[in-house]
Structure 1
Amino acid sequence: MDVARLTSSLIRIRSENPPGSTADLVAFIGEFLDSLGVKNRIVSHPGGRDNLITTEPGSRLLLCGHVDVVPAIPDDWTHDPCSGEVADGYVWGRGATDMKGGCAALLAAYRDVIESGVEPKAQFAFVCDEETGGEHGIRALLAQDLFEPRDCLIAEPTPAMSPAVGQKGLYRVDLSFRGRPGHSSLYPLVGKSAVMAAFDLIDYLREVHARPFPPGEDLQPLVAQSARIFREIFGIEGGDSILTRVMFNPGRIEGGEKANIVAEQCRMELDVRVPWGCSLDDLRRGIAEHAPDAAIRETDVAEPTLTPPDARIVRTVCTEVARVYGTAVPFLQWAASDAKYLRDKGFDVVEYGPGEIPTLHAVDERVSVEQLEKAVDVYRGVIRAYSR
């Protein structure tokens, strides 16, 4: 089975999160590895949240991917998001880019290395819930000490010539504001609005966003390279602001009782991305001080992370990318992934994988067959380098 057909097969096995079951997909991967004679183990959690790790001895490299995908509504798609159709040079469907294409390319590369007569010194970890924070996936596997710190390659989608070597920090919280109800005709002289308290916090976050956090000398070249990449992918000018400023999104707000009552309650789900040089503790305190009547529940917290550019995994992946594409330009990631948990545990991590980045989590998600085949070529080289 070639890598495009393998990607298609993975897409056709549904693994939306929520609801979060990956049991069928993990079983398929287990059968694929069984056919290669590779020992593996399924680590299960309630709701079919299954992970798979391989257990062959002598591993020097961890190959990691998540098998859950965000939900897709089929309206407006050119091809059904669960079809995995191969057409017009692409594999189409939810997860094609994020990141069943990358998982398929890892598996195909590993198979090719075995069939060439080389014993791969690499371990797999396919995890169930990267899209919802990794509680039952990478965080659970790390908590159980199922693998030791080592070099790690995650097949997250990246630009074709640009491995990701670091990512901003993350502060994700739920805030429950409490107000004091009253008749709306007397507000703001009577009552205290929980909804307006939420907007006061947003005003504060706008002020925080306006302040840049200049990178240190070691990061300046990476920030400049990343800004160029953002411009090429998204058409965003001034992309350095993405990496040097606090970015925030009040992704969900709901509150109040009715129009003529001063709102007694309001809930906000807030996502904040933290640049290098910004104190996460200071940011936490600032949010708490500007939401004094809110109960704050932290759901995901991580400092910015970075794998040193001279680390072996960075040098190896860049060498293989340059061999296939002619050049390699590392960059810093604007989003978050399982890499943050692995780096916190002492892993040197690089993310590199195939995908059409603008279609990530979007309508008509797809990955080109050419990118898949070149990713396999890169992965083969990386696996061989760690298997000598």
Structure 2
Amino acid sequence: MNVAKLCSDLIKIRSDNPPGDTREVAEYIRSVMEGIGIPSTITNGPNGHDNVISTSQKGRLLLSGHIDVVPALNDGWTYPPYSGKIDETWVYGRGATDMKGGCAAILSAVARAKDAGDELPVSLAFVCDEEGGGKYGTRYLLEKNLIHPCDVLIAEPTPAHAPAVGQKGVCRFDVEFAGTPGHSSLYPLFGESAVTQAMDFLAWMKKLHSRVYQQTAEMEELIEHSIQITGEGNTADYGPIFRQIMYNPGVISGGERVNIVAQKCSLMMDMRLPWGCDCDEVLDEICSHIPKSAVLTPKTKANASLTASDSFLVQKTCDAIGEVYGITSRPMVQWAASDARALRLAGFRALEYGPGDLSTMHGLNERVMIDQLKKCEDIYFRLIQSYTDITKDTL
């Protein structure tokens, strides 16, 4: 199976989220799986939110990828974003890195393992809606008991030499600030501005961000390695990303007219929480630093998660990476969130490892190197073999 061609074919099938319609790409993957000899099932969600999974979910290892992608405009691209252009080095297009390249590598590796003639020790799940939070994707499969706790590799793009075994927590919330309107010519003597309340709150958030959370010796070793890998090639200090609360006031709007003291101001906040930071405790602290008239509404809450570095899944993935690249591979942790957090909460041992040019993810001229696609296919194949050997030993 030509992994670059398969990646290109997947890119050509649009599955932007929003709107999240993955029917066509799910059907294409189902046909590939059936061609390999793996019976599959498509789950039908609202407005085309379809997942495709192997009918048998009894594997010791689950290989998973998401088939939705963020939208792309044509402007600024060297090749059209849904062209799936292939040259001597790269496959180009929206989803090449995040993460149709990883899905292609999974399918190619499974086809190769199937050709080897052994009973496959793996299950497969290609999900929708990861870019939209997973309500109709991984979370739906968990709620319906369509996938079952086991070891799981998610083909999210990572640095080539290190699988990601943990993700920071995520906390999203809205705040509605309420002021007292008045004539602008009399402010601040009369009136109370909801916009100024929001500004004061954001000033306090800088203090919260400056707090450094202490880590265990094991976690500190993982973080130091992650900082080294993440910072290769530049001089930025990545320490705060892993040890501190990162925050982004993504959307803010307020005020009624330029000459009225603002009565309303709304804020949408995204925070990423380090290990050792509890989401509920932080929200309680935040609530104590907003006016009593303000209303905070949590939207997403999840603490940082981690898969043990000495687990079979992590060790065998690192071994496979080391064999293919001729290096010593060690795991890292990530600052962003993914389906891994939901899977860990459900009892899965999860890690992420996949191909891609991280600098182009969600950006212009997204691309994946063909050589990396092939190496990922080889790594996944070796990992499958490790689980095949376990199955043989237990017979």
- Say whether 1:41 aligns with 2:23: no
1:227-278 superposed Cα distances (whole Å, 9 cap, x missing partner): 1111116x25321211100000111112222211112222222110001122
Q: CA deviation at 1:189?
A: 2.1
Give the AA of the match of 2:252. Answer: I
SS in 2 for 1:51: strand
- Say whether 1:254 aligns with 2:267: no
CA distance in structure 1 between the partners assigned to 2:77 and 2:107 by the alignment: 28
Which residue is equivalent to 1:181?
181
- Say whether 1:346 aligns with 2:347: yes
Give the AA of the match of 2:363. Answer: A
Give the AA of the match of 2:81. Answer: P
CA distance in structure 2 between the partners assigned to 1:372 and 1:213 by the alignment: 37
Could you state the TM-score of these two structures normalised by the residue count of structure 1?
0.97
CA distance in structure 2 between the partners assigned to 1:88 and 1:117 by the alignment: 32
Which residue is equivalent to 2:277?
278
CA distance in structure 1 between the partners assigned to 2:20 and 2:235 by the alignment: 33
Q: Please give the root-mean-square deviation of Cα atoms over the aligned residues, in Å.
A: 1.3
Give the AA of the match of 1:178. Answer: A
Mapping 1:97-136, distance limit 5 Å:
97-136=97-136
1:177-205 superposed Cα distances (whole Å, 9 cap, x missing partner): 22222111112222222222222221121
Which residue is equivalent to 1:355?
356
Which residue is equivalent to 2:59?
59
Q: CA deviation at 1:57?
A: 5.6
1:136-169 superposed Cα distances (whole Å, 9 cap, x missing partner): 1111111111122110000000000010011111
- Say whether 1:82 aligns with 2:109: no
CA distance in structure 2 between the partners assigned to 1:17 and 1:26 by the alignment: 14
Moved more, 41-50 or 278-287: 278-287
Which residue is equivalent to 1:365?
366
Mapping 1:126-205, distance limit 5 Å:
126-205=126-205
Which residue is equivalent to 1:212?
212
CA distance in structure 2 between the partners assigned to 1:218 and 1:263 by the alignment: 49
Which residue is equivalent to 1:50?
50
1:264-316 superposed Cα distances (whole Å, 9 cap, x missing partner): 22222211000112232221012222233333232221111010111110011
Q: CA deviation at 1:112?
A: 0.9
CA distance in structure 1 between the partners assigned to 2:57 and 2:357 by the alignment: 35
CA distance in structure 2 between the partners assigned to 1:84 and 1:179 by the alignment: 52
Conserved? CA contact 2:57–2:147, under 8 Å: no
Conserved? CA contact 2:168–2:305, under 8 Å: yes
Which residue is equivalent to 2:392?
none
CA distance in structure 2 between the partners assigned to 1:345 and 1:27 by the alignment: 27
CA distance in structure 1 between the partners assigned to 2:195 and 2:9 by the alignment: 47
Q: 1:175 to 1:218 in 2, by over 3 A?
A: same
Q: CA deviation at 1:102?
A: 0.3
CA distance in structure 2 between the partners assigned to 1:57 and 1:335 by the alignment: 28
Give the AA of the match of 2:207. Answer: E
SS in 2 for 1:232: coil
1:85-106 superposed Cα distances (whole Å, 9 cap, x missing partner): 1124111111110101001100
CA distance in structure 1 between the partners assigned to 2:235 and 2:229 by the alignment: 9
CA distance in structure 2 between the partners assigned to 1:25 and 1:150 by the alignment: 26
CA distance in structure 1 between the partners assigned to 2:47 and 2:235 by the alignment: 40
SS in 2 for 1:100: helix
Conserved? CA contact 1:230–1:236, under 8 Å: no
CA distance in structure 2 between the partners assigned to 1:236 and 1:67 by the alignment: 34
SS in 1 for 2:131: helix
SS in 2 for 1:375: helix
CA distance in structure 1 between the partners assigned to 2:103 and 2:252 by the alignment: 35
SS in 2 for 1:114: helix
